[in-house]
Structure 1
């Protein structure tokens, strides 16, 4: 077994994708928490995600090979004292042999000195056990899915929401620091490039932002529940007709989001965990599965 750092090559990027597809395939047809959807567009975005993290955090990105075949991969990052896990995947035939633990140890060493940590975990009992043993608190997560009932989108008024862009990066980082203790920093560049729209609210009473893509709310952060609610309603109003909405990784602290989802007819389900170390769930906040 060889565990080595990922290289910024097409072969290594494809190897990570292959490991992820195999590791998260579910024969029962259920979807795993934190595994984005979208076919070919998703693969393009996933390759870009691997290249982004190899460039920003090379010491947090590792791949495991057995006889030259990729069997495991891990992608981790550090942002202003917070360690974040973007991916941990092991192919089924290599599971149960300690490989996931070894990959997590390599990625975890990159976070040495960080006082806080965040990751999303699948519903797998083995994943829950691994992360709990690593010292993470597991917060069961919910998700909202389904078509948006436009009749439930009452005119909220009061808080203007407008499209954002690179000019708002300082505002976004300021909101991040207030909620999770660290800015997304360079990750906002990736999110801007690979999502359909950034929505921003900035008032004397507070600020917030939301990335959306098709029906997915990819990341939402705000300094108050009132602003977060306004942003989520706006994002759901912009979901195209015939496309299902999707809001994931909602812990019990995000009841404001659950209430909005139910008002517009979305279905509430469960899916995986938001796992945290040295911190409580940010609130009001909808994490990014990749950049949390």
Structure 2
């Protein structure tokens, strides 16, 4: 058997998407809350979003994207970014039938080498035990995260002043808030995020912040300079949900208790879900990271 760890190419993306679809679904089915809908395979729109994000990563950070190949067949992948002095792990998966042979360690080594010289590192991790052990051995702190989930009653939504629709002119403000909260700007990632989500902004003497809001409601990424602004932006995202459809807000670290205050007021359930992995960085606050671009 011939094993090769090599740079990812655009032609590899369909195989990589299939690997992540199978591997992530396996973890989701093993760890989901029993009161939630059973995890389903990635939808066609989800596949399109994954491919768009991966093409973006290959365009901005080709040296951070690698695949494992056995006898000419792609069986694993890793993608990572450098944003200023921050290294970010985006995707990491090995095909279920190729696990247990050390491929994950080789892929992670290739990606972390791309982060040489970065002062900080951060990524979102699932509850996959083998991966968690690799991350800890690589020097990352693991911070438990929570997810908020439930239907949002219209009668409890507060008035949210000073929040407006964002525009491309707000990009500098967003990057500034990124640096103040997580230590590095999103830079080119804001353009892709704005294509997939609705940007809302607060820029007032009482506080500054931004949030990317999902089509079905809920925050996909949020940064603010104080808790009051962060709470207002989270409420704005909850107001975008359908009253009869549960909304989910994942990736809430313990440092962001302000989000749990909103969840309590909104009568949302609070569940443990995954980890935030950081190196030389405290969990950002007030901040909710994006699943891929953090």
TM-score by length of 1: 0.93
In structure 2, do the counterparts of structure 1 residues 74 and 36 end up closer, same or farther at CA, with 3 Å as the change threshold?
Answer: farther
Secondary structure in 2 matching 1:49: helix
RMSD: 1.9
Please tell me whether the aligned partners of residues 87 and 115 of structure 2 are also in contact (alpha carbons under 8 angstroms). yes
Find 2:102's aligned residue among 98, 104, 107: 98
Name the residue aligned to 1:113.
117
Query: CA offset at residue 146 of structure 1?
Result: 1.7
CA contact (8 A) 1:161 1:200 kept: yes
| 1:199 match | 200
Whole-angstrom distance in 2 between the partners of 1:38 and 1:243: 19
Aligned pairs, how many? 286
Cα deviation for residue 262 of structure 1 reads: 2.2
| Structure 2 CA distance for aligned equivalents of residues 239 and 114 of structure 1 | 38
2:212 corresponding residue in structure 1:
211
Verify the 8 A CA contact 1:215 1:244 in the aligned structure 2: no
Question: 2:261 aligned with 1:259, yes or no?
Answer: yes
* 1:1-292 matched pairs, under 5 angstroms: 1-9=3-11, 12-26=12-26, 29-30=29-30, 39-156=43-160, 159-195=161-197, 197-213=198-214, 214-292=216-294
CA distance in 2, matches of 1:182, 1:139: 19
Structure 1 unaligned blocks of 5 or more: none
SS at match of 2:274: strand
For the residue of structure 2 that corresponds to 1:199, the secondary structure is strand
Mapped partners of 2:105, 2:219: distance in 1: 31
Q: Is the 8 A contact 2:31 2:127 kept in 1?
A: no
8 Å CA contact 2:145–2:274 kept in 1: the answer is: yes
| CA deviation after TM superposition for structure 1 residue 31, in Å | 6.0
Q: 1:241 to 1:100 in 2, by over 3 A?
A: same
SS of residue matched to 1:26: helix
Give the distance between the partners of 2:79 and 2:125, measured in 1 at CA: 14
Task: Compute the TM-score of the two structures, normalised by the length of structure 2.
Answer: 0.92
Gaps in structure 2 of 5+ consecutive residues: 34-38
Shift in alpha-carbon separation, 1:252–1:36, aligned structure 2, 3 A: farther
**Residue deviations 1:250-277, cap 9 Å, x none?**
1111111012112112111111100000
Checking the alignment, whether the CA contact within 8 Å between 2:218 and 2:234 is kept in structure 1 is no
95 and 45 in structure 1: CA distance in 2 versus 1, 3 angstrom threshold: same
Deviation, structure 1 residue 28: 7.5
Q: In the aligned structure 1, how far is the partner of 2:41 from the partner of 2:25? A: 12
CA, structure 1 residues 134+27, in 2 after alignment: closer, same or farther (shift >3 Å)?
A: closer
Show CA shifts across 1:100-128 (max 9, x none). 11101101111000010001111122121
Shift of 1:32: 6.9
Distance 2:194 2:63 in 1: 25
